[in-house]
Structure 1
């Protein structure tokens, strides 16, 4: 038994030798590579490797600011869309970043005695997007927001007879969504979503009739909304062509 155990030990030891030699051989070759020839090969191999590709540069946002939302459409347009508006200057929403998000709304009740009253409500929303490495280019982000706004309009709760279609001639992309909402009275709603470069413009225009007045003409509401949306989109380009007075140095008091 002692002899067999000794012999088994010698066999296992011999079987392990090739493995050790193989590792040693690798170490030996590595050691030789540290010489002049090995150094040249190493340098050659290193220099032959392709360098890392630089990260792609995102395009610069076309628009750096937003227009005053309450001046995005002409006063004459407000008179047409919202007769007897409570405040023709509009009501601006509060925002912590007016360079990225801004909106304004108008509403008014046009009373006509025994013929009843017509109510109108108009709101314009702007959202501006910058290029960010983690989120994509400014235009790509605006396209995503544009799609979200269209889908949100189409998903309006209680919407009836909804119709969405492309609205050409309004920026780079445009969609109109019209529908009616049955509450105390028939209300006709129109939403225009448009994208111009890295800015998304969403315009909501609604009309309702009270006290026996005839229902609003839905086709006329759409026509007026599209005209106002075109003005709002044009105001974005105009705002970015004007010098930024807000950043101009102010005279000492």
Structure 2
């Protein structure tokens, strides 16, 4: 037996696979097939994950789109429009006749400083009538107006004005140094009005203070009128001062409301500058 025959027999006995080139090729091909077969499930799993992920993204986008549509469909908050959109000229709210009666020696009104006269305006007058050795009579008159706009955050203009009106009345009633304070409602003067009277004692004399606070829709008007007898003259009658103050306050309210009624009165008739109400107040929406 040759040496080569002896080696091949020994290999068969030990179970060693043949090592011919043909056999080695068949082994490599089998290995590639097995590797390729193993890769198929992995690819299928990856494809399945990718497909599921896309489906979830679609659901999320659909939910976001639905939420956006729902939000856009919700109505925006609304509030009824304020009636008055402007204020009259402060120094023209009272007629010349009224000014001659309340402050006869006043030459002209002094307009209050304001960043926006369509929202806040005021004017004041003072008068000193001398009686020679018998002293003199002092008078001071002031009219201020505050207009409130409707706001979706703060509320309707007339409600804001109502809140300020109540606050202003309480402030007048609690004036520092006031004595003998008394309050009473005033009829036929806007939507509501209150008159407050008190005395203020100063070194020059006793000042009789009369204040009328009125509200008409979204505008609050405060009229202050006081008088004093100086240099030995007697103090004026408080009832007479209050009567004049109420009459002047009613006139100021009519000036503010003049264009709403299509006609002017009082100071508006002479100045030709009543306030400007809204053309058509919008109703409140639930």
Q: Quick check: TM above 0.5?
A: yes
What's the counterpart of residue 208 of structure 2? 188
The separation in 1 between residues aligned to 2:249 and 2:110, in whole angstroms, is: 18
Matches within 5 A, 1:87-106: 87=107, 89-106=108-125
User: What's the C-alpha RMSD, in Å, of the aligned pairs?
Assistant: 2.7
- Residue number among 54, 65, 71 corresponding to 2:92 in the alignment: 71
Asked if the contact 1:66/1:239 (under 8 Å) is kept, the reply is no
- Residue number among 189, 195, 198 corresponding to 2:218 in the alignment: 198
- Residue number among 114, 117, 121 corresponding to 2:136 in the alignment: 117
Classify the secondary structure of the residue corresponding to 1:231.
Answer: helix
What's the counterpart of residue 231 of structure 1? 251
Q: CA deviation at 1:53?
A: 5.8
TM-score by length of 2: 0.65
Q: What are the superposed Cα offsets for residues 139-196 of structure 1, whole Å, 9 maximum, x if unpaired?
A: 0001011111111111210000001121111100100010001111111101100000
What's the counterpart of residue 153 of structure 1? 172
The separation in 1 between residues aligned to 2:181 and 2:74, in whole angstroms, is: 49
- Residue number among 73, 77, 83 corresponding to 1:62 in the alignment: 83
- Name the structure where helix makes up a greater proportion of residues: 2
Task: Give 1 or 2 for the bigger CA radius of gyration.
Answer: 2
The separation in 2 between residues aligned to 1:244 and 1:54, in whole angstroms, is: 38
Asked if the contact 2:77/2:152 (under 8 Å) is kept, the reply is no
Asked if the contact 1:67/1:239 (under 8 Å) is kept, the reply is no
TM-score by length of 1: 0.73
Is 1:132 the equivalent of 2:113? no
Question: Where do 5+ consecutive residues of structure 2 fail to align?
Answer: 1-51, 264-271, 275-286
